[in-house]
């Protein structure tokens, strides 16, 4: 099997377009590693560089300690599955799966036995004599996966193999794929923009943004302990609450997070308080996932210094619980603008070398150099359920009253606090 190391790897396309920038990643032997991020973040480019389909512009790509920058795809012993499966249309399912073994000169009887065994594992043994054009999308992807796996590669690469399938089939196949590749022990690099696929399948995840690595860790680590606002928001369904606040150190209360009309106090015993003191009088971004907000029973005031209030505006029924949107008057933050890499001359997003408009991170950093407390930088109003100043919370199985007042207990231990640059105020341990 194979360990993959990207040591300062970069990819620049003609026109000085930087698709991947100074990427440092280690993918362990036998690991199912997911590259996750929005369209255009560089994840497929990384996969193609590992496969040898794209040249590495800078840095070193190492496979089992051997520099692979100049190795051909055949020398790397990799197998790749694309979004559409890419089966040979003139060959049957069995013929497609047999082809890599024929090229390798495998004994025909042994090849037939391996094809039969793998088609049974993939649930397509009854389709072995059918042509690709007669198969459904899910059946074609199973056949494509089988063709890649049958040659027993040391490295298995998958580029959004489920994105063109319907939701039900994606759920079924992601379970099958994860189980199958783990049973073989083959190192697998899987590309997706779907956070649910990443969270349910991966041993570890790397979250990418604009060609840069934002965070890497196990699904649990990056969900519970994200390194940046972008990661916290990207791995969030339902959406995380990102609230603009100002931190104030108050002697008898702790560090008060002032949201304007409301506030929450972080006690002095909290391990984050020393870092928060350094932000005294400065803006911070507070992340609260909906499940970390618990409705206080009617007639109760809630714990002092750890409750927020709002009026229920919109309800969504999700079967197992109610999701509510409550107008709270607290300005929220646009995660896409926080800490976004600022393009420079010669990079995407600039015209004739002109400086691009400053994003939230740059504007807040400029404000931090002043002695005054900056005004909140809030999310733009838009149509749909989620408005600025909304708090999203999980109400469990008890349906809240639309238009009713609600008090929400904040689980301080699960509250995430970021600096204005979008990074956590305390060190993230991996």
Number of residues that make up the chain: 430
Show me where the domains of the chain are located.
4-231, 234-418
Which whole number is the average pLDDT over 335-353? 53
- Contact predicate 100/145, CB 8 Å: no
Q: Is the pLDDT of residue 269 over 50?
A: yes
Mean pLDDT, the chain, rounded, equals 86
Question: What pLDDT was estimated at residue 208?
Answer: 97
pLDDT category at 105 given cuts 50, 70, 90 is confident
Which whole number is the average pLDDT over 285-291? 97
Question: What pLDDT was estimated at residue 240?
Answer: 96
307-317/322-327 β-pairing: antiparallel
DSSP code at position 356: P
- Cα distances (Å, whole numbers) of residue 222 to 46, 202, 203, 374: 20, 12, 12, 30
Ranked by mean pLDDT, the top range of 32-41, 96-105, 135-144 is: 32-41
Across 148-152, 217-221, 401-405, least confident range:
148-152
Question: What pLDDT was estimated at residue 365?
Answer: 37
Q: How many CA atoms lie within 13 A of 412 on its CB side?
A: 20
pLDDT single digits (tens) 291-333: 999 999 887 877 788 999 999 999 998 888 899 999 999 999 9
Closest Cα partner for 329 from 259, 266, 380?
A: 259
3-state secondary structure of 146: helix
Give CA torsion, residues 350, 352, 357, 358, to 10 deg. 80
Distance separating alpha carbons of residues 266 and 316, to the nearest angstrom: 31
- Contact predicate 303/297, CB 8 Å: no
Closest Cα partner for 197 from 34, 31, 26, 28?
A: 34
Ranked by mean pLDDT, the top range of 131-145, 226-240, 363-377 is: 226-240
Radius of gyration of the chain (CA): 25
- Contact predicate 416/428, CB 8 Å: no
Distance separating alpha carbons of residues 271 and 68, to the nearest angstrom: 44
Higher pLDDT, 159 or 387: 159
Question: What pLDDT was estimated at residue 85?
Answer: 64
Q: Is the pLDDT of residue 80 over 70?
A: yes
Which whole number is the average pLDDT over 3-19? 96
Question: What pLDDT was estimated at residue 341?
Answer: 61
Question: What pLDDT was estimated at residue 281?
Answer: 96
- Work out whether the CA dihedral 161, 165, 167, 171 comes out positive or negative: negative
Question: What pLDDT was estimated at residue 76?
Answer: 93
Which whole number is the average pLDDT over 94-122? 89
Longest dimension (CA), the chain: 80
- Contact predicate 392/288, CB 8 Å: no
pTM recorded for the entire structure: 0.83
Question: What pLDDT was estimated at residue 386?
Answer: 54
What would be the CATH architecture of the domain defined by 4-231?
Answer: 3-Layer(aba) Sandwich (3.40)
Place of tokens 């696929």: 197
């Amino acid at each position: 099997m194979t360990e993959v190391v990207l040591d300062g790897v970069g990819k620049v396309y003609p026109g000085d377009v930087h698709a991947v920038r100074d990427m440092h990643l280690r993918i362990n032997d036998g690991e199912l590693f997911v590259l996750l991020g929005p369209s255009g973040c560089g994840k497929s480019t990384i996969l193609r560089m590992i496969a040898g389909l794209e040249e590495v512009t800078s840095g070193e790509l190492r496979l089992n300690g051997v520099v692979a920058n100049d190795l051909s795809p055949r020398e790397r012993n990799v197998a790749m599955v694309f979004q559409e499966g890419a089966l040979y249309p003139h060959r049957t399912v069995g013929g497609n799966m047999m082809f890599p073994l024929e090229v390798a000169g495998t004994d025909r009887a042994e090849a037939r036995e391996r094809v039969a065994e793998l088609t049974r594992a993939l649930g397509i043994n009854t389709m072995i004599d059918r042509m690709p054009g007669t198969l459904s999308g899910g059946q074609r992807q199973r056949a494509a996966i089988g063709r890649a796996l049958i040659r027993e590669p040391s490295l298995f690469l998958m580029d959004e193999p489920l994105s063109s399938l319907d939701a039900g089939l994606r759920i079924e196949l992601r379970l099958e794929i994860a189980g199958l590749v783990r049973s073989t022990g083959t190192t697998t690099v899987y590309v997706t923009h779907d956070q649910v696929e990443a969270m349910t399948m991966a041993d570890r995840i790397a979250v990418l943004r604009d060609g840069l690595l934002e965070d890497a860790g196990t699904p649990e680590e990056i969900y519970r302990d994200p390194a940046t606002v972008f990661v916290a928001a990207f791995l969030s369904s339902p959406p995380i609450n990102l609230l603009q606040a100002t931190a104030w150190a108050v002697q008898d209360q702790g560090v008060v997070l002032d949201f304007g009309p409301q506030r929450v106090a972080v006690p002095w015993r909290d391990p984050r308080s020393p870092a928060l003191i350094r932000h005294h009088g400065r803006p911070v971004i507070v992340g609260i996932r909906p499940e970390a907000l618990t409705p206080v029973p009617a007639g109760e005031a809630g714990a002092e210094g750890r409750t927020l209030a709002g009026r229920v505006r919109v309800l969504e029924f999700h079967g197992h619980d109610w999701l509510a949107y409550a107008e709270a008057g607290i300005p929220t933050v646009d995660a896409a603008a926080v800490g976004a890499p600022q393009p420079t001359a010669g990079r995407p997003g600039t015209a004739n070398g002109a400086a691009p408009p400053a994003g939230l991170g740059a504007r807040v950093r400029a404000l931090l150099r002043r002695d005054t407390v900056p005004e909140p930088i809030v999310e733009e109003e838009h149509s749909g359920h989620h408005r600025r100043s909304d708090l999203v919370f999980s109400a469990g199985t008890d349906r809240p009253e639309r238009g009713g007042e609600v008090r929400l207990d904040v689980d301080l231990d699960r509250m995430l606090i970021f600096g204005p640059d979008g990074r956590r105020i305390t060190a993230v341990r991996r």
